[in-house]
Amino acid sequence: MVEPIARDELAAALGLGSHELVSFVGGGGKTTGLFALGAQLAGTVVLTTTTKMGRDRTDGHHLLIAPTDVELSDALRGSRTVLAWRADAGHKAIGVAPEVCDRWFDLADHVIVEADGSRQRPFTAPNPFEPVVPSRTTLLVACVGAGAFGRVIADRCHRPMRVAGVAGCSPYERLTPERLATVLSNDRGGRKGCPRHARFVVVLNQVRPSDHGFVDELVDAIDGTVVVVAAS
């Protein structure tokens, strides 16, 4: 069993260095993970999205809308961590282009990006135009919420036909550890858009003791690093 961690241990568990561009993709826990790294990383941090995120999800951070590079640099001198969007569309924040994230990586110690959407479902597989991963990403984090473990794909997953297509099953079958591992490890699933130079880590969120058997089977089936975040 991979030892579960508390959310405030995420940066350490991911093995992050002094200069990282982290892109979160997949299902449940992306926004929470983004803000957790903003609080835990040393140095200056830009939090952003290349897709959309809830307008109310600011976590109290200094917010910038379509900042110039000078405005961003000035803000980072006053606030160690800032949140930046391209536009405010009322109930949704509109993200920046991935090339902007790459450029901001020269202005801050860290850039943390929510690079995928899942409509608050615990798991998903990407459409052809998803995820939107900056090319200078150093770590791609594929998130899975424990609410999808062992559940019927059509009931719990965003884009269930795509999840089932990559898993090689019907969307009316259950998301077993083997099927979940297949989607996470596939270039049409969790690894889609991962730059060749980037590390890849799977993060399992909101894991309870009753999930440990499922997690053990999943870890055995995945070729790579898995971080397990305990339910709070």
Confidence of residue 57 (pLDDT cuts 50, 70, 90): confident
> What residues does each domain of the chain span?
7-43+101-230
What percentage of the chain carries pLDDT values higher than 90? 89
Tens-digit pLDDT profile for residues 183-209: 999 999 999 999 999 999 999 999 999
CA triplet 216, 220, 225: central angle to 5 degrees?
95
Nearest to 214 by CA among 228, 198, 194: 228
Tell me: the pLDDT tens digits for 90-139?
A: 778 999 999 999 999 999 999 999 999 888 899 999 999 999 999 999 99
Confidence band for 213, pLDDT divided at 50, 70 and 90? very high
User: Exposed, middle or buried by CB within 10 Å (0-12, 13-18, 19+), for 178?
Assistant: middle
**pLDDT band, very low/low/confident/very high, at 2 (cuts 50, 70, 90):** confident
What's the predicted TM-score (pTM) here? Answer: 0.96
Which single residue is written with the structure tokens 């941090």? Answer: 45
Q: How far is Cα 219 from Cα 198, in angstroms, rounded to an integer?
A: 20
Write the CB contacts of 153 (distance below 8 Å, at least 6 apart in sequence): 160, 163, 164, 167, 169, 170, 171, 172, 173, 174, 175
Mean pLDDT along residues 24-42 = 96
Tokens of 134: 């900056």
Residue 73 has pLDDT above 90, yes or no: yes
CB-CB neighbours of 171 under 10 Å: 18
- How confident is the model at residue 232, as a pLDDT? 86
What would the pLDDT profile of 6-18 be if each residue is shown by its tens digit? 999 999 999 999 9
